[in-house]
Amino acid sequence: MCGITGWIAYDRDLANEQRTLTAMTRTMECRGPDAEGMWLSAHAALGHRRLAVIDIEGGKQPMAVREGDRTLLVTTYSGEVYNYRELRTELEALGHRFRTSSDTEVVLHAYLAWGPAFTERLNGMYAFALWDPRTEELLLVRDRMGIKPLYYHPLPSGVLFGSEPKAILAHPAVEPVVDADGLREVLTLAKTPGHAVYTGMREVRPGHTVRVHRGGLTEQRYWSLEAREHTDDLETTVATVRSLLDDIVTRQLIADVPLCTLLSGGLDSSAITALAAAGLAAAGHGPVRSFSVDFVGQTEHFTADALRSTPDAPYAHALAEHVGADHSDIVLDTAALMDPRNRDAVLHARDLPVGLGDGDTSLYLLFRAIRQRSTVALSGESADEVFGGYPWFHDPKAVNAGTFPWGAALQGFSGTGSGAREALLDPGLLDHLDLAGYRQDRYREALAEVDHLDGADPHEQRMREVCYLHLTRFVQLLLDRKDRMSMATGLEVRVPFCDHRLVQYVYNTPWSMKTFDGREKSLLRAATRDMLPDAVADRVKSPYPATQDPRYARALQHELARVLADPGAPVHALLDADAVRRAAAPGTDPESLRNPAELVLALDSWLRDYQVQIKM
């Protein structure tokens, strides 16, 4: 895993622009702490920060393929292609010769051999740029599920690009401007494909390529979810899911650095940990190393709510003992969660005021602790989207609400971390932004993309739509979060459940089969039950934990009062001052304002640190 950036300009000579390229590249240092590389030519400047995972010595970048003294192709590449060994064998049979053992070089030769169609052969998580000096064209490529980020900013005669917005914002031609739609994206967490919040900036859509040439930019899709008839019976379907998972996890265990799993004790992470333990044992390695996050006193004093009925620790420990894992709990306290240095690190990892508070900060601290012992971690992320695990999948009211189901389901939630996010914002601003209307527009756009089978049962048709919404919208919020928090600490996180073969297969499995035992994630449970303790296999879905320490909400309230008292706080222009005053007043229940306080504090830091101009 790495950080990439670059600048293409057809109207100037970039060979002497090393200072600007260096500034852009250095913003990616957290994503690639091991090495820095740059490649400059007349019209292309490519930067790279490396996190060395495969072929430590040979995989330096940017990497080029040369023929004599002529450069045929050069790349700055981030990610992992898990089938690179098979592709290498196939390319060698075609006469290609390799000088390294890296997957990066395989990607270069794959493009030379098969042209733009090479993307259809890649299995992995990746975001990279290919510069072809022969045609003076750039190709930006992003993986099918959007696991790895890639942003770009068109210029009058070229383009800027980077793994994160900060790389593009480091260029002198770009100012941090946000318009009304950008603010709507932030406040609704819509995660509209392609939208990057900052004016003029775009994100390469999952499963797409962007080609840059002298005539401009063209975008092309190379993969999407397609409706196909599912003909396998239940027994065959369960066996196919298990076979796919065995292959996926085995491929993703390949690394030349220490590897571990993220283990919450839920079905998803437990299945990945058990599969990893089996894969490592089969290869003569092990035991698997696993890590969980917890909060001081939370297991002992846990309070159930509508989303979380049980604490994680007992189940994580049961699974670790069952598979013989070398397990560690990372236990966090409120002081660490509220430490301004940690909260600032989260904001600068995100480049945006997402406002998820301890959900982001605790993940960042977990990854920072893991990075001291491992460089790669396997995660159970995305199983809920693939297999239908969230409670609202099974709530007819949420399913038929006529909007994004998660929004409808969480609207009335009153547990830890509740409270309407925009409750402290200026009513006039909210009226102008019409967030409800924006959500509905994005919802209708997403529904229009869904491919259906002729003659499908209406309920099956609706559940296909619900699954599509989660696999193209909701999962992007979670993948972004996991990428930014992990890469801010130099940790590579792999997500086996996002393998496109598994996603496509399960997507087309009938909903009746996905819930054949009357529960959520029936197929995953059936496919992995033989590897899990019954208590873990039968555990009810519990999301990522949030601290229940009342001191955390009180600390947020104190910070809110501090912002209110600061006449220079830039967020004042966006706030309902009376509502903030009431929220910060003694006697107000701090837990009831937790989400809105998190958003206000994040907005204030973002506006201040990034010098953002909001132009509506």
**Active site members:** 2
Cβ pair 179, 615 in contact under 8 A = yes
Q: How far is it, in rounded angstroms, from Cα 361 to Cα 334?
A: 11
Which residues, 6+ apart, have CB-to-CB distance to 239 below 8 Å?
527
Nearest Cα residue to 125 out of 518, 611, 601, 493: 493
Cβ pair 295, 330 in contact under 8 A = no
Q: How far is it, in rounded angstroms, from Cα 417 to Cα 594?
A: 6
Nearest Cα residue to 245 out of 486, 593, 529, 50: 529
Nearest Cα residue to 418 out of 409, 426, 428: 409
Provide the CB-side half-sphere exposure for 477 (13 A, CA).
Answer: 19
Other CB atoms within 10 A of residue 546 CB: 22
Q: How far is it, in rounded angstroms, from Cα 92 to Cα 89?
A: 5
Which residues, 6+ apart, have CB-to-CB distance to 558 below 8 Å?
none
Running DSSP on this structure, what letter comes out for residue 198? Answer: B
Rounded to 5 degrees, φ, ψ at 161 are -150, 160
Sign of the Cα torsion 317, 320, 323, 327 reads negative
Nearest Cα residue to 75 out of 61, 60, 88: 61
Rounded to 5 degrees, φ, ψ at 162 are -170, 160
What is the rounded radius of gyration, in angstroms, for the C-alpha atoms of the chain?
24
Cβ pair 327, 261 in contact under 8 A = no
Nearest Cα residue to 62 out of 44, 80, 43: 44
Written as six digits, the tokens of 447 are 């529904």
**Alpha-carbon distances of 462 from 113, 156, 391, 439, rounded to whole Å:** 42, 43, 16, 19
Sign of the Cα torsion 583, 586, 592, 595 reads positive
Cβ pair 207, 142 in contact under 8 A = yes
Rounded to 5 degrees, φ, ψ at 237 are -65, -45
Cβ pair 511, 388 in contact under 8 A = yes
How far the first Cα of the chain sits from its last, in Å, is 37
What's the CA angle centered on 551, arms 550 and 554, to 5 degrees? Answer: 95
Which residues, 6+ apart, have CB-to-CB distance to 263 below 8 Å?
269, 270, 273, 290, 291, 292, 316, 319, 320, 325, 327
**Alpha-carbon distances of 18 from 14, 24, 153, 447, rounded to whole Å:** 8, 10, 19, 45
DSSP string, 392-434: GGG-HHHHTSSS-HHHHHHTT--STT-S-TTTTB-HHHHHHHT
